[in-house]
Structure 1
Amino acid sequence: MVDNNEDPSEIDDAIRELDEARWEYLKCEPLLKKVKKFLDKSHGRIMEEQENQVKKDYSAVYPKLQKLRKMKENYSEDDSFDAPFTSLISSFRGDQPDFEEYSCKKEELLSLASEICQLLGGMELRLESVIGVVPRRVLLEIFGNLLAAFSTLQDILAGILMTFRGENDRSTVPEKTEDWAKITGTIISFLTNVLLKLPEFGIEEEQFAAINKLLDRIISLYCPELFFGFVRAVGNPIAMATYKGKIEEHQCQIGLLVEEIEQISEYK
């Protein structure tokens, strides 16, 4: 039944209420795009648990999204995200609005939109730990072993430097040099394992670039020339003395690298 005598202020209030809800609903659209982008990609076994949870959350909200879309008369897949709101607002602004009918639709639309926004708000909290962020367990799998190995290497180099200062017997140098060789081999083994598994982790492009850059720094710090040069100098005090500053610098660079790894992985 068409009501031609409805108070214009009530129509204005209804339109204002719809428009405010429309703007809140539009805030959900970027999040939905992120969700779809995430679900369109394969993230490997390391992200399987998070991926399944996001799928579960999305399956709960999807029917409600579809129901809201279909509240617009003659809806199509090409309609804008806020089309049900703009369509109902246009109906209220018509020459002879059926206020009672449109008010019922308004309440249903606002209720459904509020429920969707609430569900998506919960999803957003979950996605903060998944989309665009590397899970802590992935970072520990990438860097945990390397941190332990670099800590061991720092101790070995400290022992060699103590020899230069006369705090250690020079007879320990060959043994410490062997330890240096072993831990270097361990670091190479860890790096090889990480580089082979890296594509399986499903890391977002931006974070992947940062991790790759850090791994490049680790590789460059291997310093085979320094190590083998020192090995050849062992037993020759004059030649060994030329390596004191180089080893100190190497140890300093390792310390800085460890700080970088701790920062990116939040590992303490």
Structure 2
Amino acid sequence: MKESIKKLLITGNYFAINKDLVRELGIEKAFLLTVFVEASEILADKEGWFYQTIPTIEHLTGFSLYRQAGFIDELIKLGYLEQENRGVPKKRFFKINIQKIKEIILKNLEECTLRNLTIDSQETLVNKEININKKYKENNINNNICEKIQNEEGISEKLKAKLIDFVEYRKEIKKGIKTYRVISMMINQIGSKFQNEEHLIMSIDDSIANQYQGVFPVRTHNQKLPPKESYNTRRLRELEEEERNARKNI
């Protein structure tokens, strides 16, 4: 039983939090910083700035608006995070101080063989320690698609998060999405192929669970299947069609 629970925990999506950061910041601030670092890897521009909303952070961490604000203020005061408000209406943009994180991690490794390593190998070790998935950054197409989803107007933050989940899922199964047209088509089909946003979210979840490449509308409780045609009914319909066609040829 314990082994089954352990396997369940390690086979799903999870965050890896560096122990040095936990000792330095406490588990909650270290967790929030890890979430920000991962978001930065996916969404950051060339200067390292990325946009993140209160609902998205709450969805990823479970932290309320009040707790988010407190943790963010502390991370800014400690030098791990920068914040800028841009545009009208104002949007919050963040930037990670990677050098500060490196200092904390490397501080506990000074007595190890890192003394003889080059800067490049140190950075490789740091990246391994904080377990950041570099494949998203290497794929500019994925980054651009995720950024466009974040900037999409007229859809909820919940749907944005789910669309990004689908982009990441396609990347994991080595069937990465090549153009944003795939995403825009799904959004444009809300109200036709998909009843509403919630129906699209359910359909994405179903596609990921069944390891589909595409997103197919799931049947909801208020949808009825068309009545199944019996053999006799179908045969009668075919005979009537044959008779009508025969009359046309006379």
Question: Normalising to structure 2: TM-score of the pair?
Answer: 0.21
Structure with the greater alpha carbon radius of gyration: 1
- More strand per residue: 1 or 2? 2
- More helix per residue: 1 or 2? 1
Question: Normalising to structure 1: TM-score of the pair?
Answer: 0.20
Q: Which has the higher contact order (CA 8 A, sep 6+)?
A: 1
